[in-house]
Amino acid sequence: MFADIATIFVKAGNGGDGAVTFHREKYVASGGPDGGDGGKGGDVILEVDDNLSTLSDFRYKRKYFAENGQKGSGGRCYGKWAPNLTIKVPRGTVVYDNATNRLIVDMSDKDSFVLAKGGKGGFGNIHFATSTRQTPRFAKAGAPGEELEVRLELKLLADVGLIGFPNVGKSTLISVVSQAKPKIANYHFTTLTPVLGVVRMGEESSFVMADIPGLIEGAGEGIGLGHEFLRHVDRCRLLVHVIDASGSEGRDPIEDFEKINQELAVFDEELAKRPQIVAANKCDLTDDEHVAELKAYFDEKGIPFFAIMAPISEGTGELINFVAEQLAKLPPIKVYESEPEPEVDYSKKTDRDFSVRVEEGVYIVEAPWLIKVMETINPEEYDSLQYFERVLRMSGILAALQKAGIQEGDTVSIYDVEFDYVP
């Protein structure tokens, strides 16, 4: 089954906890702490698989969890890093943050992308040994891995899009100019999924053509199948608008042309401005005078016009040659730029969970949301440190430290950062 949109939840692995152990060896007194660090949690990685053409696999599995890192152990042994979790997607998949609708990445020109980072491993007690604290009996927990719900949308990578009302001959056209073998029949909505075909112009020259199904009046507002597949027109550099020159179904080809362009504009105004070529099919079912009237109408609008009879390949060669000439003048297939994460002023947020505990004189703060804050802090910049202090104060962490009895010069430990408390 063809599927071009899916929503999934991903969770990177947590870092492993650091170990609290002490060296034990015959004839070695007071061997000291030797607890190793925890291992890093596994990342969640998107990887392009060019053998995939739909998102149908995500209809049955919607939650993906990477493994956690292993705990540290004695003998200064670090915990094993967890393996990364790889999720394969077809090329052309666009990934959005489902909560904010932010575009995270377009998997068109990338082969892989780290979607969620695994948490760092916690420090073992070996890191907390000092001249005054020679037997630390505590370690740090591993940092949590990132988690988010994302929306995957497949937008086909095609140079040319065939658009037009049902039953005008789009499937027949793509079947005679490429190796595509779509189902062809004389009834509406024969084509229920987009069909891709490679049009070869020579040994080293080709382009990809897509038959976009389901476009009818109201498609831009979700009527029929059009709303489901209009997203696939979005990347096309050039549109070939197929019309039924004969009006064999009682419709006027010019009205059909205008209606389809209205639907493109409803969906995305930029689409309606995309370069178009008109292919008037079924010319054998009408007279030359009517074809000439159609050509005059489109000539006046400045739109290239080709009269064709797709089933017998009449006129299709001239059409495809002209398409190839136009593509050589147009920019490459559109690739979407990732949108930056919105800036969050954590100093104004007071609803963040955290915990404070005291282990042998060290005040350990655990707050998963602080990890992102700490990644932005530059300890060499005064303004950056002032912002960090503001975050700690407004979130209530400083108040909690004071309530726990912290004094000037005491050590505060937040994941892999330690500093002396200065009131």
- 154's enclosing H/E stretch is strand 147-154
Tokens of 161: 């899009």
- Average pLDDT (2-19) is 89
- Average pLDDT (363-385) is 83
pLDDT digits (tens, 9 = 90+) for 12-52: 999 999 999 998 877 766 778 999 999 999 999 999 998 88
Question: Which segment of 142-146, 245-249, 251-255 scores lowest on mean pLDDT?
Answer: 245-249
pLDDT digits (tens, 9 = 90+) for 140-181: 888 899 999 999 998 888 899 898 888 888 888 998 898 767
CA-based nearest residue to 209, from 154, 276, 271, 161: 161
- How many Cβ atoms are within 10 Å of 172's Cβ, its own excluded? 22
244 exposure class (CB count in 10 Å sphere: 0-12, 13-18, 19+): buried
Strands (E), 245-385: 276-281, 305-307, 355-359, 362-366
pLDDT-derived band at 190, boundaries 50, 70, 90: very low
- Domains parsed from the chain with CATH numbers: 1-154 (2.70.210.12), 160-327 (3.40.50.300), 347-423 (3.30.300.350)
Residue 116 has pLDDT above 90, yes or no: yes
Q: So what's the pLDDT on residue 349?
A: 58
Please give the DSSP secondary-structure letter assigned to residue 73. B
pLDDT digits (tens, 9 = 90+) for 286-334: 899 999 999 999 999 999 999 999 999 999 999 999 999 999 999 998 8
Angle between helices 170-177 and 316-327 (to 10 degrees): 80
pLDDT digits (tens, 9 = 90+) for 60-73: 899 999 999 999 99
- What is the overall mean pLDDT for the chain? 85
pLDDT-derived band at 227, boundaries 50, 70, 90: low
